[in-house]
Amino acid sequence: MYNSILVPIDISETDLTHQVIPFVQAHAVMNTAKVHFLTVIPSLPYYSTLGLAYSVEMPKIKEIQQAALEKLDELAKEFKLPPEKVQTHAVTGSPKDQILKLADSINADLIIIASHRPDISTYLLGSNAAAVVRHAKCPVLVVR
């Protein structure tokens, strides 16, 4: 049914991740779909506006990216999908922009996203989830 499912993950919110597991499993039925997990490390705009040398910060960013990918790999295992059907991605930037960008490049036919952090109950949709629902070119399943 689906060929390419994108699951954006905020690695600092493991409760949210657990919330989406059964939905990802249900949509990856028969394991025909490739499931892409993405975590976005927000970039550090203050550093760049202050003109702090990226050459100094770069190694740190690479280290952070590597650590984020390791954490994401760990979380991805909890979905119990066949390893050959799973791909993990860690990039820097704005979460909503990067989610939409990867959706395009992997030709996603479904995005599965949690609606918002559980403790932020004033908004039905967090800002990233809202932007993804609004701008994605494919169906979006919002888990709440």
Q: Which residues bind ligand ADP (CB under 6 A)?
A: 8-10, 16, 38-40, 95, 113-114, 116-117, 120, 126-129
Which C-beta is closer to ligand ADP: that of 9 or that of 110? 9
CB of 35 to ligand ADP, least distance (A): 13
Q: What are phi and psi of 18, to 5 degrees?
A: -65, -30
Residue 90: in which H helix or E strand, if any? strand 86-92
Which C-beta is closer to ligand ADP: that of 55 or that of 96? 96
CB of 32 to ligand ADP, least distance (A): 23
Q: Which residue is nearest to ligand ADP (CB)?
A: 126
In sequence order, what are the beta bridge partners of 18?
Answer: none
Rounded CA-CA distance 99/77 in Å is 21
Q: Where are the beta strands (DSSP E) in the chain?
A: 4-8, 34-41, 86-92, 110-114, 140-143
CB of 14 to ligand ADP, least distance (A): 11
CB of 124 to ligand ADP, least distance (A): 10
The type of residue at 35 is: V
CB of 51 to ligand ADP, least distance (A): 25
Which C-beta is closer to ligand ADP: that of 55 or that of 121? 121
* Contact in structure between 46 and 57 (CB atoms under 8 Å): no
Which C-beta is closer to ligand ADP: that of 11 or that of 33? 11
Which C-beta is closer to ligand ADP: that of 60 or that of 134? 134
* Contact in structure between 54 and 48 (CB atoms under 8 Å): yes
Rounded CA-CA distance 108/122 in Å is 30
